[in-house]
Homo-oligomer: A and B are copies of this chain.
Amino acid sequence: MSENKQKISKNRESKTSETGVSLKNLAAHLGLSITSLSLVLNDKPGANSIPQETKDRIFRAAEEFNYRPNYFARSLRAQKSFTLGVVVPELSDGYSGMVLNGVEAVLAKEGYFYLTTSHLHRDDLLKHNPQMLIERQVEGIIAVDTPIRFPTTLPVVTVSGHDKIKGITNVVLNHQHAAELGVGHLFTLGHRQIAFIKGQDFSSDTKIRWETISEAALKRGLKIEPKLVAQLEGDIPSPEIGYVAMKKILAARKPFTAVFAFNDVSAIGAIRALEEAGLRVPQDVSVLGFDDIYAAAFLNPALTTIRQPLFEMGKLAAQTVLNQLAKSNIEASKIPQTLTVEPELVIRNSTAHVKK
């Protein structure tokens, strides 16, 4: 017996030592079959007939030798990877990270992990990266602010995706509500000439954001002056591009009293451009952001913005994928097309009542 044990522990050392004991080792040590151990350790019905005493021996030995089922063997057999894939534009944009926090919070509880890939808005990677994830046997995919350019039958959930694709659930902000909050806030403060900074074409929220804002403006009898609209260009997640957009608007020399930016990052750039032009925020021009990134509260002036619950969106996306995995094929047919979360208007100091 103790001889056996010796053998095991020796064996263990001799291995890369990272890979612990195998079921085979353990079974030999106990003088039982692999089957019995597997049955008992996984608490399968087949273990019913095995007396508690034997079960305890097995549990004790597993504990003692710190047995961990080999991930590859288990996954190969079960055809399950306990892994999701997450596709993001890139990780340092202050957006994806928050979403991933939410994803991880949900997955960790279920013993799932996730692989991340960034497509950097490159068309080839947009196809290639998800393919690689699928070859890696991910069980489902979460696409964050990323268009779906790959075929698959796996569960797919997007965060801020707006393409209505059969079988794909989109976790989205209630954009109509967001636009109402934003335009409504500026309108209430008396602003009638509002400049807008649109998102880049590749950003999945650009279109819907613009449509809902247009509607909200129209509803209040505001007409949008094309010269007061600029679009973000370039794919770096830096305020620089907001600065450039704002410059463009200023160059048009059309009067305006407020700016509704596509996001907080571009709002920061816009503020810089305004101040360089000698305009004070919010005394001369109000600036409204979108997202509520961490820094928003500490800018100077502190940014008024529309908050997106990114952490919650990540959680919701992960939960939805796991739900689909748990469901039978029949039930899976009735997956929701859209899951909506609510925005929140956070009023700080970058917006003020229009000057008399």
Contact = CB atoms under 8 A, between A and B. Distances in A.
Contact of A97 (B70, B92, B117, B154): B92
Interface string A10-23: 00000011110000
Interface string A288-318: 0000001101111010000000000000000
B294 A239 contact: yes
27 contacts: A16-B153, A18-B152, A71-B135, A71-B136, A71-B137, A72-B72, A72-B81, A72-B137, A90-B97, A91-B91, A91-B96, A91-B98, A91-B104, A92-B94, A92-B98, A92-B294, A97-B97, A104-B116, A108-B117, A113-B117, A113-B132, A115-B115, A243-B298, A272-B300, A272-B302, A275-B300, A299-B299
Given A71-B135, A238-B294, 16 more contacts: A18-B134, A18-B152, A19-B137, A68-B135, A70-B76, A72-B81, A91-B97, A91-B98, A100-B116, A101-B118, A238-B297, A238-B298, A239-B294, A243-B298, A268-B295, A299-B299
A199 B298 CA distance: 19
A6 interface: no
Contact of A240 (B96, B97, B297): B297
A262 to B, nearest CB: 15
Contacts of A73: 76
A79 interface: yes
Interface string A328-342: 000000000000000
A71 B71 CA distance: 12
Contact of A115 (B114, B117, B152, B300): B114
Given A18-B153, A116-B114, A153-B16, A268 B91 contact: no
A265 interface: yes
Contacts of A298: 238-240, 243, 268-269, 271-272
Interface of A: 16-19, 68, 70-73, 75-76, 79, 81, 83, 90-94, 96-98, 100-101, 104, 108, 113-118, 132, 134-137, 152-154, 236-240, 243, 265, 268-269, 271-272, 275, 294-295, 297-300, 302
Contacts of A94: 92, 94, 97, 294
Contacts of A275: 300
Contacts of A72: 72, 75-76, 81, 137
Main SS of the interface on chain A? mixed
A295 B239 contact: yes
Contacts of A91: 91, 96-98, 100-101, 104
Interface centre among A18, A243, A295 (most CB of B within 10 A): A295
Nearest to A264: B295
A101 B108 contact: no
A236 B220 CA distance: 40
Nearest 7 A/B pairs, CB to CB: A239-B298, A92-B97, A72-B76, A91-B97, A268-B298, A300-B300, A92-B98
